[in-house]
Amino acid sequence: MKRLKNFLFLLAAAPVVAFAAGPSVPLDKAPVNLTDKESLQRGARVFVNYCLNCHSASVMRYSRLEDLGLTEEQITGNLMFAADKPGETMTIGMTKADGKAWFGATPPDLSVIARSRGADWLYTYLRTFYRDDSTVTGWNNTVFDKVGMPHAMWDLQGEMAPVYKTQDGHDVIERLELVKPGSVTLAQYDAMVGDLVNYLVWMGEPAQVQRKQLGVIVLLFLAVFFVVAYYLKKEFWKDIH
């Protein structure tokens, strides 16, 4: 009985613990729009060029990109660099052992990373890398302190440096400041990250839009059927008291 009480207490406290373990920095709203196929196509391009070198998406097949409006020729000619057939999954050549040796930890599979971390977290994370000579990679992140991942898209964004302020007797990062421009403007980089996050959200559940549309249709059907069933019930029972 005592164990049951302890279990129920932990179950009730779980949301509070999860909230307390949340990010300590405010997250920016990700521009997610799963009906914007052009954005999803751009995000897929960024993904295969910058993420798929170290991270796999082992439950995602290249052929599924046809759902975004791409043809098989476009997929094989522009997005397939580590596979021979569109039906293959998005795997990489780097082994887990190599990943751990090079980065200190094996780069995670990104198939459902948006469902795990959340779109806002990813959007903020990918835009808040900054130079930090105290780390092995020379990079750090405001959302993920002492992150082992280097800034894969630094050539696009450029190099950011932290601006500190004193809070409760400690120096904390107030904002990031561009100290070395990249190949695109910060606004263009934010748009690219938005497209990438949009794609990651889609990849976590490619049928999400269809599922929601089907859900609306089912609810509308049930609403109409309820009215019909109600009047049928009144008709059948009108002579019964």
Q: Which CATH superfamily is domain 28-205 in?
A: Cytochrome c-like domain (1.10.760.10)
Please provide the DSSP assignment of the chain as one string. Answer: -HHHHHHHHHHHHHHHHHHHTS-SSPPPPP---TT-HHHHHHHHHHIIIIITTT--EEEEEGGGGGGGT--HHHHHHHT-SS-SSTTSEE--S--HHHHHHHHSSPPPP-TTHHHHH-HHHHHHHTT-EEE-TTSSSSEEESSSTT-SS--TTHHHHEEEEEEEEEETTEEEEEEEEEEEE-SS-HHHHHHHHHHHHHHHHHHH-TTHHHHHHHHHHHHHHHHHHHHHHHHHHHHHHTT--
pLDDT at residue 21 in the model: 38
**What pTM was estimated for this model as a whole?**
0.80
pLDDT at residue 161 in the model: 95
pLDDT at residue 81 in the model: 84
pLDDT at residue 23 in the model: 43
What residue ranges of the chain have pLDDT lower than 50?
1-23
pLDDT at residue 63 in the model: 94
